[in-house]
Every structure is written in C-alpha cells, then in structure tokens.
Amino acid sequence: MNNQKTVLNVQSEVGKLEAVLLHYPGAEVENMTPKNAQRALYSDILNLSIAQKEYEQLYGVLSKHSQVLEVRTLLTKLLQDENQKEQLLRKICTTENAMRYLDFLMQLSPKELTRVLIEGLPAKVNTLTDFLKDDFYALLPLYNFYFTRDPSVTIGNNLLICNMANKVRARESIIINAIFSNPQFFDATIIDSTQFVADDKTTISIEGGDVLVVRDDIILIGNGSRTNSQAIDQLIANLCRGKEGRKHIIVQQLPHSPESFIHLDMVFTMLDRDTAMVYKPLILDNTPYKTIHLEIENGEVAKISTPNNLLEALKPLGMDIKPIVCGGNADDWDQEREQWHSGANFLAIAPGKVMSYARNVQTLNELSNNGFDVIPAWDVINDKYDVEAAKKCVITIDGSELPRGGGGARCMSMPLRRKEL
C-alpha cells in the first residue's frame, strides 16, 4: 500500500468503484467445529482451501478495477506504532475479559499479533475455572471478518463504525475503528455507533449490510435482527444534525427469520442507476413488513409516511427503479432457494456492471433476459472479456463454500470511494 491517504466518498451504490476494503479469509474460517458453528453465526462449517479459491475470483476482479486495501495489511502497519498497539489491545482485552493476556500480546510482533487478533488466541488453562470453562479460545477467531461490509459503512465522506448485533463480531468493529482513526491511512469523519445510547438504554445495533446509499440524499436501511430502530434514529441524528436541505431515509422492516434475511442487501441491491435486484415475496408482494419513509429537513425529521414498498418510496424522489426478480419470475421455490444462497446480493463495480455467485442460475437467466452478459470471473481476470467496453454485465464467482458463511459479493466488500454519478 502506498503512503497516500485514501479519501472516502460514497454517494451511490453503483458509481464506479475506485477503492474497496477486503479481508482475504484465512485460518480463522476453519477454527471452528460443527459444535460451535452456530456461535460463529454459521449454519455449516467451511472448507477453507475451496473458499479461498472462490474468494480469489472476487479479489482478482476487484483488484483489476479498483484500489484494493486489505484489513490484514492495514492492521499490521497500525501495530508497528507501540502507542496505537497498546490502545487497541487494552480496548480488545477489556471488552473480551482477557486483560491477563495483555502483556503477552504486547510482546508479539505486528505480523504475529495481527494473525492472533484475526485467527484467535488459545486460552492458557492453568486454573480450575479455566479448565471448567470448556472454551479453547481466550480471544475467539473472527470467523466472519471476510464480510467486511458489516463492521463499517461509507456514507458520503463519513465512516459509520457499526455496533454489531452479536458479541462474536465486536472485535471487528474495534479493529476497523482503530484503522480508520489513523490519519496516516484515511481522510474520514467517523460516526461511532458503539457510542450511541438510546433513551430507554436499549442495546443499539446496526450493521453495514442493512445500509444502502442510493443517492447523496437517499439512504435505505433495513430494520431487522441486526439493525434496530434506536440505532437508525441515532444515525439520522448524527448524519443530519446541523445540515441544511432535504434528506430521505427509507426504512424496510425485515423478518427475524429465516437467517438468510439478516440484512436488507440479502433482499434488495442496486444493479444500475435505474435497476435493482429484488426478492419479490418481501419487496413487491403484500407483506406485514412495513416500508417507512422519513423526510429530513434542515436536520430534523419533518414527515414520516408508509409507502407500499421500496420502489414506490423511491419513485416520487426521481428514482424510477425497474425490479429484476431474484430466482426468476416463474417459480416461488427458485426464488426462495436462490435468495437463501445470496441470490439478491450483488456488488456493483460500475453502473450496470455487477458481481454475484454463479450458482444462482435462475437469477442469472433473468439478468441475461434483461440484457446483461453473464461472464465468469476468470474471463475478466485473464483479459478475455473487456468490462470497460461492455454495456451491462454480471461477473460470476464460484460459490460452493463462501455462501455457507451467509453472504455474497456485496457482503464481502466495503466500498471506500466511488466515482460520483
């Protein structure tokens, strides 16, 4: 990585991707057993070597088209500074009740410490209490860190640090906060939701998969098992306070089960300026889950209304969005099966140029019928297909192992800067 600071700016979901944060999955992904997979927020265990081969395709395409920054590289660089190292370790050890390991951790080299903070720290079992705990780790592995979308979100020139819904992911936010707070790396205004406090002392949680910046004045937010209403209220207050003009926050309520509905981007993602991939049963059909439009004027909520769905909320704001149906229109079963495997979760690398899994065949057929070329990632990586020259395309990555973690191409990438539309 060069020494130039990365300036954050994301004003849309589809503007040409110029810089993105990734985390290459490593040993942490395999440091679990079927017994503790659920605690790790997985429904199954992964084969790392296959998962890495699949991830190489995502990484290869993105590094060809934008600046790729890696969590591991940034963290290692940060830990070279003794003050920042101690600050970060104190916060992690306090949060995870591991203060007795602080001195040991402080003695590790930046590279080894980075490995331990991501892949986990085995516990020293030298007391009866430790022995009876029946937990191998003092610091759990960060099983989900390759989903870099969730611990933080770039909103305009701001960086939202997310307060994760599950404790097993709390360290991800702490690490990301430390990295982005380093003025040598980034030029960012940080909004730290881990410091949000609700009036009724409710635990606040918000995750990046629930936040879609569709225009500089419009944000879509999912309200479900990972992002609660108190967090959304606090985010609005922090983003809009003292700002003139009009902004729109459109909230989509989500079911708390099945687990494939954890975030808004599992049922709705933008493909182009005027096209979105939607999971029809939740987004277009009649459901008990509300769409709520909050109009913000000069920093204050001026009006709250309930349009029929996201598309109807966006239309009067000058965004007439054409839906493409995840799983295709023909069969409810296909829609359900492909949504489960992140069939609605697309990452745009430019308007009309998106990435997704190759396994969701009906969804890809639907895209093909709507004028998208369907191209394997290796064709892009090996210069057999010119993405720049294409009008509309979907670049597919193999997905037998990666989807078991519960996310797709959007989940695995955190845009830092996009070209303004």
Per DSSP, 258 falls in state S
- Is the Cβ–Cβ distance between 264 and 341 less than 8 Å? no
Contacts of 82 (CB under 8 A, 6+ apart): none
Q: In what order do the strands lie in the sheet with 189-192?
A: 152-155, 158-161, 189-192
| Separation of alpha carbons 128 and 126, rounded Å | 7
Coil, helix or strand for 304? Answer: strand
Mark whether 162 is an active-site residue: no
Structure tokens at 381: 């990586």
**Left if phi > 0, otherwise alpha if psi is -120 to 50, otherwise beta: which for 245?**
left
- Is the Cβ–Cβ distance between 409 and 345 less than 8 Å? yes
Q: Between 110-119 and 71-78, two packed helices, what is the crossing angle to 10 degrees?
A: 130
Residue 371 burial class via C-beta count within 10 angstroms: exposed 0-12, middle 13-18, buried 19 and up: exposed
Residue in 162, 240, 393, 411 annotated catalytic: 411
Per DSSP, 121 falls in state E
Q: Can you tell me which residue has the tokens 């909004």?
A: 191
What are the residue numbers of the active site?
411
